[in-house]
Amino acid sequence: MTFIKSFISPIVSVKWLHERLNAENLVVLDGTIAKPFDASHEQILNAKFFDIKQKFSDTTKEFPSAFPSAQQFQKEARVLGINQNSAIVVYDDKGIYSSARVWWLFKAFGFDNVAVLNGGFPEWKKAGFPTEKMKPNDVEQGDFVAKLQPHYMKFFDDIVYASQDKTHKIIDARSAGRFNCKEPEPREGLRMGTIPNSVNLPYTDLLNNGVLKSKKELAKAFYMVAEQHEPIIFSCGSGITACVLALGAELSGYKNISVYDGSWTEYGTLTTGEMDKPSTWTKNELLAYILMYVSHSDLSESHVEKKYILSRVNKQVYNRVSAQFEKDSDYQSIQNIIEAVKSHDYYRNDFADLFADIKLMAFADGNYDVVEQMIYNQLKKILKDD
């Protein structure tokens, strides 16, 4: 029986893995994200399911796939039978997607004898290699020890500092459409936008049908956005595909690399948009703007109307939105509202709530006049027909 001492590369081929499936210290992990246990699902022989969402994320945090503590990671890794002398190969069912996150997590906890299966489960099946049905974990508990390596993961305060002071090159793995605010974020209620001073390299640019491109092609892709000596932070939507960039960067010889754990989901939630770009507004900014538009239908905003708006959004949001609203013409105001609603799809399921807010604000001064009714009907038609 063979023993795998160490990997010479952070990726291995399906042929390489097939030839070593019986290695004494091999642990194969299925890192497919959000995959429920199902005995009808196929897997590579003797694979163990690495549950990113529930077992290897801090589920007490607000944002998805949050970085776990060393204690949590160590405990769950041991349950999977992982030892200090294990050699880990991780795959997922998309090719290379969430498997890179698993690889990066192990490195972040001081374990380097881990590699990603190039092309993942689709390549394994394409090669005709054997599979089996998913089965419960029944291995002996391992002796894995987690040793946190702080420089692998960056968090909100780190990214704010890096962005403002330009201490790192920030590279975003999202699609060009999302990065350039031309496509809405898939997470409902999350505004569009980008981290200031970041550049875009879609993770899909590194792949051909889920298989990493050649080292030469990878090196060219990274050369276009960063020099090898630059410190780099990779970001994405929620910290998953940023790790695909980290994998490609390591293969391309980049050394000073890290991943922003919360990525755009966290940054876009904790920061405000640019007020002259409605596509980046938060839901509260949009609500405040619409209510201001209605309240100014008679060319002024009464104290009672202002009080109502402040009951729905905080003072900082009110002041920020008010400053922008005062700059905009009536025509521009309508265009801003249309763009913001379309960009974010904020009110996809709750137009009724939005229009109730508008009516309540209009009634706040005890007088729902003809002009306010006209504005209300105009907004209803524009937003519902849009």
Tell me: the pLDDT tens digits for 296-321? 876 566 788 888 889 988 888 899 89
C-beta of residue 273 within 8 angstroms of C-beta of residue 280: yes
Note the pLDDT of residue 143. Answer: 97
- Strands 114-117, 232-235: pairing is unpaired
Question: How many other C-beta atoms are found inside a 10 Å radius of the C-beta of residue 280?
Answer: 21
- The whole-angstrom separation of Cα 1 and Cα 286 is 64
β-pair partners for 93: none
Note the pLDDT of residue 362. Answer: 65
Note the pLDDT of residue 155. Answer: 97
Rounded to a whole number, what is the distance in angstroms from the first to the last CA of the chain? 66
Note the pLDDT of residue 368. Answer: 59
Residue 130 sits at the vertex; the CA angle it makes with 127 and 135, to the nearest 5 degrees, is 135
Among residues 361, 360, 351, which one has the least CA distance to residue 386?
Answer: 351
- The whole-angstrom separation of Cα 56 and Cα 50 is 8
State the residue for tokens 């006209």: 374
Helix axes 330-344, 370-385, angle to 10 degrees: 40
Note the pLDDT of residue 385. Answer: 52
- Residue 97 corresponds to which tokens in the numbers above? 């997607």
Note the pLDDT of residue 242. Answer: 98
Low-confidence spans in the chain with pLDDT less than 50: 347-348, 386
C-beta of residue 371 within 8 angstroms of C-beta of residue 298: yes
State the residue for tokens 């890794």: 77
C-beta of residue 305 within 8 angstroms of C-beta of residue 363: no
Note the pLDDT of residue 65. Answer: 92
Global pTM value: 0.79
236 as an active site residue: the answer is yes
Note the pLDDT of residue 294. Answer: 83
Q: Looking at 47, 206, 226, 236, which residue is catalytic?
A: 236
Question: How many other C-beta atoms are found inside a 10 Å radius of the C-beta of residue 7?
Answer: 17
- The whole-angstrom separation of Cα 7 and Cα 179 is 35
